Amino acid sequence: MATNRTFTMIKPDAVENGHMGKIIDMIIQAGFDIKAMKYTRLSEDKAKEFYAVHAERPFYGELVEYMSSGPIVAAILEKENAVEDFRKLIGATDPAEAAEGTIRAKYAENKGRNAVHGSDSDENAEIEGKFHFAANEIF
C-alpha cells in the first residue's frame, strides 16, 4: 500500500550552485508537504551506507565522494502518490534526458552531479527517511 511519503536530498552540487531555495519552492509548489527537513552533510561512511545498493557499479566511488563533498538538504515529503509524482518532478537521472521543466533539467550539472535524490519505492522511502531522521524530527 502507498505510504504517500517519499524521501529527497538536495545534493551537494545544487546547494553549492545556489539552487537550494528554488528547488524547495518547486517541491512546495508541486503540492508536497514537508514532514521533516535538515541541512546536513553525509560523512564518507554514511554516503557509502546510503548508496550500498550501488556498491558494485563503476561509479560508486565517485558517487560516495561527491555525496560527502559538501552540505545537503535531506527531507521527507508527503503527497498522494508521493514516490511516483516526485520522480516525475525531478526527471530522469541524466539531465540531458530529463523532461523540460523538471528539477534535474533545470538545475543538474550532469548524470552524476544531478541536483536531487528521490526514493524509487515506498519501501525505500521509509528506509531512507529513517536513515536521516529520528521519530521526533518527523512532523
Residues carrying an active site annotation: 117
Count helices and strands in the chain by DSSP H and E runs: 7, 4
Q: Does 63 bind ligand IDP (CB under 6 A)?
A: yes
Paired strand residues for 6: 77
How many Å apart are CA 24 and CA 3, to the nearest integer?
Answer: 21
Q: How many residues bind Mg ion (CB under 5 A)?
A: 1
Which residues does 52 contact at the CB level (< 8 Å), separation at least 6? none
Which residue of 24, 71, 111, 126 would you call a contact of ligand IDP, by CB under 6 A?
111
How many Å apart are CA 20 and CA 118, to the nearest integer?
Answer: 15
Nearer Cβ to ligand IDP (3/66): 66
How many Å apart are CA 32 and CA 139, to the nearest integer?
Answer: 13
Whether the CB-CB separation of 67 and 47 falls below 8 Å is answered with yes
Q: Does 59 bind ligand IDP (CB under 6 A)?
A: yes
Nearer Cβ to Mg ion (62/137): 62
Q: How many residues bind ligand IDP (CB under 6 A)?
A: 10
How many Å apart are CA 120 and CA 44, to the nearest integer?
Answer: 22
Nearer Cβ to ligand IDP (36/118): 118
- Residues 71 to 130 in contact with Mg ion, rule: CB under 5 A: 120
- Find the shortest distance in angstroms from Cβ 137 to ligand IDP: 23
Q: Which does 93 bind (CB under 5 to 8 A by kind): ligand IDP, Mg ion, none?
A: ligand IDP
Q: Does 117 bind ligand IDP (CB under 6 A)?
A: yes
